[in-house]
Amino acid sequence: MMSGSQLGAYCLSEPQAGSDVAAIRTKATATEDGYALTGNKAWISHAGHADFYTTFARTSDDKGKGLSCFLVPSDADGLTFAEPEKKMGLHC
Ligand SMILES: Cc1cc2nc3c(=O)[nH]c(=O)nc-3n(C[C@H](O)[C@H](O)[C@H](O)COP(=O)(O)OP(=O)(O)OC[C@H]3O[C@@H](n4cnc5c(N)ncnc54)[C@H](O)[C@@H]3O)c2cc1C
């Protein structure tokens, strides 16, 4: 990433969780070979273009803890992208 050969994206926000990070609902469930993530992110810069997605997800339903960060490769099974949001002034 530092050499510029890889593009990353930071996936914190969700439709119901902006400033209120504790409201994140994306869930991470342990599997035999890692974790399975289920949920929706919103407003993610580089979405659909990044090589990997640093993604915040819950490993516990306790709002005060259990928020973890996962590195999700762009070719992960089930990863899909919606249409980009139309913004008023930011077009880069
Ligand atoms: C162009 C763009 C690119 C973005 N890219 C990314 C990205 O790459 N990755 C990502 O994860 N997110 C991204 N975001 C999302 C961004 O980080 C969120 O918009 C931000 O966290 C604010 O959340 P919100 O929009 O839900 O606003 P809200 O949290 O609903 O806040 C609305 C207003 O209320 C104020 N407010 C909220 N809580 C309080 C409080 N407790 N006390 C006083 N005032 C409060 C806020 O300051 C704000 O003015 C992007 C957003 C935009 C617009």
Largest CA distance in the chain: 45
Mutational pocket test of ligand 1: of 7, 12, 13, 49, the residue with most ligand atoms within 8 Å of the beta carbon: 13
Between CA 30 and CA 32, with CA 24 as vertex, the angle to 5 degrees is: 5
Distance 19 CA to ligand 1 centre (A): 5
Average pLDDT, the chain: 93
Q: What is the mean pLDDT of residues 55-77?
A: 93
Q: Is the pLDDT of residue 19 over 80?
A: yes
Q: What is the mean pLDDT of residues 1-17?
A: 95
Please tell me whether the overall predicted TM-score, pTM, comes out greater than 0.85 for this model: yes
13 Cβ closer than 6 Å to some ligand 1 atom = yes
Q: Is the pLDDT of residue 86 over 90?
A: no
